[in-house]
Amino acid sequence: MISMSFKAAIVLALPIFAAAQTPDQRCADLTHVNAATFPNHTIVVTSAALKAASQAVTKPGGRGNVPALPQHCEVIGKLNERTGASSQQYAIKFHMRLPVAWNSKFFFEGGGGSNGNLGDAYGNLQGQQTTNALTLGYAVVSQDSGHDNSLNNDPTLNGAQTFGFDEQARLDFGYNSYDQVTQTAKALIKTYYGKAPERSYYVGCSEGGREAMMISQRFPDYYDGILACSPGFKLPKAAIAEAWDTQALAAVPKATSINDPNGEPFINKAFTDEDLTLVSRAVLDACDNLDGLADGIISNFAACKAALVHPKLAALTCKAENQAACLTAIQVTALEKVFAGPKNSKGEALYSDWTFDAGISNPGWRVWKLGMFNAPTNSSINALLGSAAISAVFTTPPTPVAATGPAPLKYLLDFNFDTEAPKIYAESGAFSKASWDFMRADSPNLAAFRKHGGKLLITHGVSDPIFSVNDTISWVNEVNKVNGGKASDFVRFFAVPGMTHCGGGPSTDRYDAFAALVSWVEKKAPPDSIVATAGLNTPWPGRTRPLCQYPAYPHYDAGSIEDASSFTCK
């Protein structure tokens, strides 16, 4: 529990080890901190060890690469250890890395999915960057948000979402753990280095992006710069969309009686990869030229409306049985239902609609909505993670659903949008806060964050299959309205056409938004554009484009279309 204000606690967390003679001694001494002098008196540092500088680790294909790391003190600890519902053991566990050669800055690495993992505390900069915050000299923290997927995992209570049956674990996941860990990390930094950080940054994607936006609203004085990528800032509503999409896409295998081994409609088989390639080409045919250049990137994505795409999809509809290179009418209907967004029986929107974009043919799109075609059973992330999250965490009271077998998909297929969807606003018994209240990060009122001098930079892929870019744009527009058209003084949004969730897709998904944020915070240089590069798995490896501050988009001027310098944001 917190027994004093954050500022007072930081003052009391004196640099008692700063005079230790060596970094090794100062690091080891962190295991003996006086908990009474910390913001949260329940702090336990379970380990603290000095790590030698290490060489870069390169893996085939680049996935899992780790850059060379500096000498640093690695700290693992916990807060608020307790016994919760169903005798589950809970704690907010954190992981820190404190470089010996410190740049006097603090970096909080946001989580992902439903968290429950300690994180590596390297400091992911997002934008597919090859370095990390630790290498750049930042003191870095990550955390599990108050539950442990390996411990709080009852297969009869939604598996890794078991924490949804414990109210405090819900609140820790929603907002409390980020508050507690921020205060604790800053106090540990002052203890180790003898001074508080001069600048603080929060960076995350997906759930981490939600956390980032939430921080700007609930704890506006904690961070100077915040980078929110592909943010799930309306996660409970996006979870409703997962149920909607699952039901819409299930209509395709139902029509042909294609079931998985559990006897459920085999949604993975609703579209072949070739089918989705046809859809992507149709979308490009409808919208690629809207930006003045047919280059495989729909830069003017805001103009790519369903009314333009529908005739192209209609033209793809099979006119006869066994016709090649076409879609069935049921497939077209399912896609259009998905992209229109979820609604109740009154036609009221329950989440956002979606933008048609070229990334629909990318594995990063289908793995969420459909699952990979050759998987042995239903495997979409919507049907697995999404089902457990909405049943255990985002609706109240939580609904027990077995974590394996047909149960997760059946829950989504049976989801009633009139009776179940309102449960994201419900309170019940021991659950005194609705998920919409403890998870939301959609307030357009950022007056306190603006007064603090904070800067918020947001990026989002137009082909994101889990959080709609349209929803993010609506929020940005609302913030701009609240701020009299001057929100860009402290909030800037950059869309990435073709990019799926947090990266991937036919896109220029390699960009250093964090460097742009730091320059904005520390040099008062707000970014109007960020140069981005296409990866090796795109149709145009090495292509560069400017990502433009919304609502501007790249206009071709002259020169090579593979070079960002040939474009102007306007």
Catalytic residues: 206, 464, 501
Q: Which run of H or of E encompasses 245?
A: helix 235-255
The secondary structure of 435-481 as a DSSP string is HHHHH----S--HHHHHHT-EEEEEEETT-SSS-HHHHHHHHHHHHH
Task: Give phi and psi for 507, each to the nearest 5.
Answer: -155, 170
Q: How far apart are CA 305 and CA 475, in angstroms?
A: 19
The secondary structure of 503-557 as a DSSP string is S-SSS--EE-HHHHHHHHHHH----SEEEEE--TTSSSTT-EEEEEBTT--EEE-
The secondary structure of 314-335 as a DSSP string is HHHB-SSTT-SS-B-HHHHHHH
Tell me whether strands 199-205 and 105-109 are parallel, antiparallel or unpaired. parallel
CA atoms within 13 A on the CB side of 63: 4
Which amino acid, 558?
A: A
- How many other C-beta atoms can be found within 10 angstroms of the C-beta atom of residue 261? 11
Cα dihedral sign, 117-493-382-434: positive
CA atoms within 13 A on the CB side of 442: 20
Q: Which residues contact 255 (CB under 8 A, 6 or more apart)?
A: 328, 330
Token pair in block for residue 225: 């710069």
Nearest to 96 by CA among 191, 18, 3: 191
Q: How far apart are CA 513 and CA 4, in angstroms?
A: 36
Q: Are 361 and 280 in contact (CB under 8 A)?
A: yes
Q: Which DSSP letter does residue 144 get?
A: -
Tell me whether strands 44-51 and 72-83 are parallel, antiparallel or unpaired. antiparallel
CA atoms within 13 A on the CB side of 491: 29
SS3 107: strand
